[in-house]
Structure 1
């Protein structure tokens, strides 16, 4: 993808933590506006470090980060503007929640933008409604479940009305029902034009959900591709200590045994493959 088409671009970004550990080692990748992106990599690959560069929490030791074609400004005004458009959701909601009540926490960001009270109230109400937490607005944050805290964190980010939402392992710690609820929220945001970038260890989910997949290893992006192209990178995934999506392995096994189902694009989930097999039996 040409840099001019990128909403967010990392170009040869390197970062070493004060203790000496390397977080990124010349990492380059681009996020196109309006897309759903999955960032995958083993523990320690640099995913969280990359995300903290996305909205200026960390500043590169070398290389550059561009947002909407412009270099990120690390002064107070530059960071305020960036964080009003790039929302970051941490893996652990307790790192992000610090106000006494749900409403106060969601209102914190918009208030810091200097918005008037009526606008803040409207944004908070809309954000809480988007994540299904309307009835929890006056609850103490500490009384919420883990899944509810994650929703409040998302609401706090949504109240800033970001163009890009960055989520670090958003499915971690959620049961099946809560994962479904979160996916519906993400789908609604994407339908509104919000660009999504999330890190996940669930390679099957990444393959089924994302438009593009970015693979990190040892602080470097070793592959960025359309999700439909991921089967070509099976060997690279294995070399990075990652599992090849189950549906890719199943389709390969079927093909080796002379069985192929459907025409055109390969299915990107086991459920989709089962549907093709059922259609084949009926025809």
Structure 2
């Protein structure tokens, strides 16, 4: 799908933001990109979207190198989308329906098809009731859902999610997990987050960035039991892993699995 090969990026002032990054989105269905602030996550996302151009190395999509001509980028972004951490960066219209419909109308889709796609996208994020609302009056979590719907409306194959749970309360975080679990069924996802509990539960493969380089990569359960690596990257150990390590119980993937299995043990006893 998407691969980066020896990708490096240097800012105009000479600062090296990324150095020889090799990432392959075929290694998992939902991949986590984690690291402390300043590790290069956002810069990598911008490179993978073609917004920034690598100083060295390249990006491949379905085996072909990404080209930076306007026409090629336009076609690429029909297949690959991004949802930024701050939904305000992606919402431009005052009315929810018009904002989500923007990209389709810009490509001259018939209004019947526009309506069909907007309805489907809002349903996918549990936001059908937001369709006629004014964006200004939406909560932060609602705006996040509208921003995701704005990408889903293009029916893209790959979606990059930058801090999808940032600023959300527990209820909205739970709803976001449900949305992402639904998206994983037919889309390739790359997610960055500082919430290690969320990443551990939702992602199957992990890349850890530190100072613009890949410190470690591997399957989620293999990565998160390595306390020394997490500590080196200034990251927290997920609570389910801590419970596993300190209480000598199985390593569960989710809170739901943990409660179901442990409660079943108590009943049997």
Gaps of 5+ in 2: none
Counterpart in 1 of 2:32?
A: 38
- Displacement of 1:275 in angstroms is 4.1
CA displacement at 1:249 relative to structure 2: 2.4
Q: Partner of 1:205 in structure 2?
A: 198
Q: Deviations over 1:158-178 (max 9, x none)?
A: 001010111100100111111
Query: Is the contact between residue 28 and residue 205 of structure 2 (CA under 8 Å) also seen in structure 1?
Result: no
Of 201, 207, 213 in structure 2, the residue corresponding to residue 214 of structure 1 is: 207
**Residues 103-252 of structure 1: matches in 2 within 5 Å?**
103-191=97-185, 193-252=186-245
Please give the secondary structure, in 2, of the residue aligned with 1:267.
coil
Give the secondary-structure state (helix, strand or coil) at the position aligned to 2:8: strand
In 2 relative to 1, CA 102–30 (structure 1 residues): closer, same or farther, beyond 3 Å? Answer: same
Query: Which segment is superposed worse, 124-133 or 214-223?
Result: 124-133
Q: 1:77 to 1:90 in 2, by over 3 A?
A: same
Instruction: Measure the CA separation in 1 of the matches of 2:184 and 2:254.
Output: 20
For 1:3, the equivalent position in structure 2 comes to none
Contact 2:81 2:156 in 1 (8 A): yes
Shift of 1:24: 1.0
Q: Provide structure 1 residue ranges, at least 5 long, that are not aligned to the other structure.
A: 1-6
Q: Secondary structure at the match of 1:24?
A: strand
Stretches of 4+ moved more than 6 A in 1?
none
Contact 1:34 1:194 in 2 (8 A): no
3-state SS in 2 of match to 1:84: coil
Instruction: Report how many aligned residue pairs link the two structures.
Output: 268
Q: Could you tell me which residue of structure 2 aligns to residue 14 of structure 1?
A: 8
CA-based RMSD of the aligned residues comes to 1.8
TM-score, normalising length from structure 1? 0.88
1:281 aligns to 2:227 (yes or no): no
Deviation at 1:17, TM superposition (A): 2.0
Equivalents in 1 of 2:152, 2:229: separation in Å?
35
